[in-house]
């Protein structure tokens, strides 16, 4: 059953009022692949190291807070913490983005972690798109989740 | 040179006041891969066909309008039109998302098209995540772009 | 006494910190009246049945979440659930909109239910306004409310 | 034809890039009916005259600016002006709300005027709901519209 | 140690999930200085007394609710109450703005009180800037704070 | 006459539809004063130099884009560029913030430049408030403005 669908077959915001408030943590990951010279410019070139990533970091945190504004059936949530990490993959000319979202609440924070990752990726894209139109945002997925009645989850082979 | 970086090495919103107002169109694409039973549920199962995609469609259009709220150095823009298309890929248990954004303005609309795609993908994810935690949002990229001084662009092999 | 007015006679956001967290539910209703041909087009015509209403449904849910952004003295709230139902009234060429909002919190959710109804009505209006400029949004009211110290409420003759 | 529907029968934001930029004005009207004592309190009672309406005025102007955030297929717009007028109707214990929205642009501003009216009405509702749960927001409609290719419109009998 | 900085030296939204929910109150203050004739116009002139301040009051309350949208590392919060007071200082041709924010939650509300003050000040500025370009917004500071583990705080000499 | 006040003495968003589209630039400035050890920590201490300021820079740019959401009678605007500069004043243990906003439009961008400055200042405040509760945000003012019918403006002694 798709829980987000009501009796008329239309979308609703599922009621979570019965669920208990528990500590919930979700980790999502994604990557943005680019030309080697674009990668090089972000990591080393011309500008103070990491500035593009500093902006993407802020965007990711703010994006996580906007999740319920963007994703229609998502509950508004009191996020207690958000953090992002960027890991350069020089061989692939890619930057791996990981976001961890936390709350003490009635719903999970998977969507917040995923939105942090996509917003950070879009921000990196925006800041270097003048020099590279072939970038690809890729492999955005949930890698871990804890808290809530449905139990913990760890993506295999991670 | 990264145009979004100022003389102190910090991020700025690049001035586009000198640019002319031209018709600009951008097309972005991405996909969300899932378990075959999740794919089947979205396409045929139980609920009115397409309802998940109807919500994702609305979310994608609204997401495009929020681009400059989410992506820090993006200009606010008068979007003149946004449309999304979903193409099911049954063999891969994936849904391909394409978004076209248009404006008559001083900056391109690549970020708007890309944000429409990611927001639609996140919305599909949200609505079926209760039955599938292994979904992956993938291959988000610009496929076409016209208008503006930098000339037209068509991604090869598309 | 108007609780939203402070000692200087100006508006304030009333403090609800002393109130207990209880389950609160509110149901609001409204309708949009139109020309018979407009009604017919929405319900049966040309496009996939219900598409206008599917968009209005999403808009209503998202509107409920924006209530405290729109209504100045409204408290931000953790909505636990929102659902909308559309009932066609063919004789009157009208669509009745009902929204139910729920929370576990310190303030009621009447405004959220009412905002869901008005946002859904405005969305229907927007999508068919090209063919009908005489539509009227009407009879928006609270029909039921439970939870909170002021006790339950049911509008008479409903 | 419903212009907001694409070839797949899904909603889109109609492209207006071909339309010319013209001066566009729209006037919308609505009313909120209440108990005589509620009406009296708003107009004369206890607090500085008009304070509830001053808040509703601000909310209406700000609501007009949020229209494209709320109504999914509405275009973002450069509103050049918004004004609201409140006319008390003592016999009916109602307050009539009129909003005029203006722009120089490619799309009309009916939705902005209507959203100003509904947001102002919701704000009045919110500020006095503690003393009156039987209020009704009513007769929200477009009364006049000028500019654009579809020509001027004046609601009959207004 | 700057708590908002993660191990990579980048900004994060600090996790407050371990903190208890307590009653938290913060009071902030600021002022806007102007030409004597501007001050006179706001306080007595031509228009209904206090109208500029009524708009600033609403803006301040709404600004407080937008704090976590504006200040990147701020937590979203359930504000239970916000109030603003304006005190004219005729000798200095200045208006003093005080805002009190309250919540029952895991983080303090200093930023909400400060944002209410700055938003109110910017609103006053906006409404009279056509007649005075020399206004200065000044002395914005926290004057009192209670609740939370770090203990109460009262600014000296206040 | 206060242009933001309508005939009933209430606030309106002044119509600027008659004004021409011209290049408009505004520069605003402000400062945040703190304890010497707080200043030292931001400039040199422990973390990668400048990280607090990098976050404030992003917040300032994004804040400028939110101006018309925050300041009730401000027009929505197509900002063509925003840039911020931070100048440390070691002797005073203060950081000076300057923001330049640009547009090609019908209204000035003073409020956008001022909002960029206040948002950046609030962000610095937020990130170091755990170690210093005595910070003061100060001297926020317009220092220069060009474009528009009212002519250019340069604050004396700047």
Encoded tokens for D43: 């107009």
Determine the Cα–Cα distance for residues F69 and C66; give it in Å rounded to an integer: 13
CA nearest to D9 within chain B: B54
Q: pLDDT above 90 covers what percent of chain F?
A: 73
The structural domains of chain A, ordered by start, are: 27-147 (3.30.70.640)
Summarised one tens digit per residue, pLDDT across range C116-135 is: 999 999 999 999 999 999 99
| Percentage above 70 pLDDT, chain D | 94
* Subunit contact F10:D54, Cβ cutoff 8 A: yes
By residue count, chain D amounts to 158
Q: Do E70 and F47 touch (CB under 8 A)?
A: no
- Across residues F141-154, what is the average pLDDT? 87
Residue E46 confidence (pLDDT): 53
Asked if A19 and A131 count as a contact pair (C-beta separation under 8 A), the reply is no
Residue ranges of D 18-77 with Cβ closer than 8 A to chain B = 68-69, 72-73, 75-77
Neighbours of D150 (CB within 10 A): 10
For position F42, what pLDDT does the model report? 92
Separation in Å, CA A74 to CA A70, A92, D30: 8, 34, 32
> How far apart are alpha carbons F120 and C110 in whole angstroms?
36
C-alpha C90/C-alpha C70 separation (Å) is 33
Q: Which residues in chain F have their CB less than 8 angstroms from residue D86's CB?
A: 8
Percent of chain A with pLDDT over 70: 94
Residue ranges of chain E whose pLDDT lies below 70: 1-2, 45-50, 157-158
pLDDT tens sequence across E61-100: 999 999 999 999 999 998 999 999 999 999 999 999 999 9
Give me the residue label for tokens 């009234």.
C89
B158 pLDDT more than 80: no
The span from the first CA to the last CA of chain C, in angstroms, equals 29
Across the interface, whether the CB atoms of B59 and A71 are under 8 A apart is answered yes
CA atoms of E85 and E98, how far apart (whole Å) = 5
The closest of E13, B119, E69 to E3, measured between CA atoms, is: E13
Report the pLDDT averaged over residues B97-105.
Answer: 95
Kindly list the residues from chain D whose CB atom is less than 8 angstroms away from the CB atom of residue E55. Answer: 54, 58
Contact B62 D76 (CB under 8 A): no
Nearest-CA distance A8 → chain C (Å): 8
Residue D99: its pLDDT value, please? 98
Given this model, what pLDDT does residue B49 score? 47
Count of pairs with CB atoms under 8 A, one residue in A, one in B = 164
pLDDT of residue F67 exceeding 60: yes
Counting every residue written for chain B, the total comes to 158
Alpha helices in chain E (DSSP H): 36-44, 51-65, 67-70, 110-128
Q: How high is the pLDDT of residue F158?
A: 46
Q: Across chain D, what does the average pLDDT equal?
A: 91
Contact assignment for C54 to B59 by CB distance below 8 Å = no
List CB contacts (< 8 A) between F54 and chain B: 10-11
Predicted local distance difference test score (pLDDT) of residue A7: 80
Structure tokens at F95: 């950081």
- Short-list E17, B141, E137, A63, CA closest to F111: E137
Tokens of residue C47, six digits? 């496009």
d(CA D70, CA D59): 14
Whether the CB-CB separation of C135 and D130 falls below 8 Å is answered with no
Distance CA D75, CA A145 (A): 38
User: For residue B152, what pLDDT is reported?
Assistant: 85
Of B9, B111, B127, the CB nearest to A47: B9
Closest residue in B to C51 (Cα–Cα): B54
Q: Which chains touch D (3 or more CB pairs under 8 A)?
A: B, C, E, F
**pLDDT class of F8 with cuts at 50, 70, 90:** confident
Give the residue numbers of E marked as catalytic: 126
Q: For B71, what's the count of Cα atoms within 13 Å in the CB-facing half-sphere?
A: 33
So what's the pLDDT on residue E152? 85
Feature table: binding site of F = 73-75, 111-112
Write the residue in D66, D76, D80 that is nearest to F75 by C-beta: D80
Whether residue C111 is annotated as binding a ligand: the answer is yes
Question: Catalytic site residue D138?
Answer: no
pLDDT digits (tens, 9 = 90+) for B35-80: 999 999 998 865 554 589 999 999 999 999 999 999 999 999 989 9
Task: Please say if the pLDDT value at position F45 is more than 70.
Answer: no
pLDDT at A66 over 90: yes
Residue F156: per-residue pLDDT: 73
Distance, CA of B150 to CA of A132 (rounded, Å): 12
**ipTM of the modeled complex:** 0.95
- Give the mean pLDDT of B106-110: 93
Ramachandran sector of residue C76 (left: φ over 0; alpha: ψ -120 to 50; beta: rest): beta
What local confidence, expressed as pLDDT, does residue A3 receive? Answer: 73
The CA-to-CA distance between both ends of chain D, in Å, stands at 29
Q: Which residue of C has its CA nearest to D7?
A: C47
Question: What pLDDT is stored for residue D47 in this prediction?
Answer: 54
* pLDDT at res. D149: 74
Rounded mean pLDDT, A40-56: 78
**Shortest Cα–Cα distance, D1 to chain F (Å):** 32
Note whether C82 contacts A13, CB cutoff 8 Å.
yes
> For residue E134, what pLDDT is reported?
95
Neighbouring-strand partners of residue C98: C29, C85
Which pair of structure tokens corresponds to residue D64?
Answer: 């007009």
Average pLDDT of C83-96? 97
Among D96, D87, D94, D92, which residue's Cα sits nearest to residue D117? D96
SS (H, E, C) chain D: CCCCECCCCCECECCCCCCCCEEEEEEEEEEEECCHHHHHHHHHCCCCCCHHHHHHHHHHHHHHHCHHHHCCCCCCCCEEEEEEEEEEECCCCEEEEEEEEEEEECCCCHHHHHHHHHHHHHHHHHHHCCCCCCCEEEEEEEEEEECCCCCCEECCCC
Could you tell me what percent of chain A has a pLDDT over 90? Answer: 73
What is the pLDDT at residue A2?
A: 67
Candidates A3, A6, A12, A66: best to mutate against C (most CBs of C within 10 A) is: A12
Mean pLDDT of D23-37: 97
- Check A50 against F50: CB less than 8 A apart: no
Residue F145's nearest CA partner among E130, E39, B20 is E130
Q: Judge whether B74 is annotated as a binding position.
A: yes
pLDDT in tens, D73-117: 999 998 999 999 999 999 999 999 999 999 998 999 999 999 999
């Amino acid at each position: 059953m798709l829980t987000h669908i009501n009796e008329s077959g239309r979308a609703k915001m599922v009621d979570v009022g019965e669920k208990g408030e528990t500590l919930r943590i979700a980790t999502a990951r994604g990557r943005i692949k680019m030309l080697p010279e674009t990668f090089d410019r972000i990591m080393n070139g011309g500008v103070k190291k990491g500035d593009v990533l500093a902006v993407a970091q802020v965007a990711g945190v703010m994006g996580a807070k906007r999740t319920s504004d963007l994703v229609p059936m998502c509950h508004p949530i009191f996020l207690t913490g958000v953090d992002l990490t960027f890991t350069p993959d020089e061989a692939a000319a890619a930057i791996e983005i990981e976001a961890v979202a936390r709350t003490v609440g009635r719903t999970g924070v998977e969507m917040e972690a995923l939105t942090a990752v996509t917003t950070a990726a879009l921000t990196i894209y925006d800041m270097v798109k003048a020099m590279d139109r072939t970038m690809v945002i890729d492999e955005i997925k949930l890698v871990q989740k804890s808290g809530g009645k449905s139990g913990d989850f760890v993506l295999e082979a991670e």
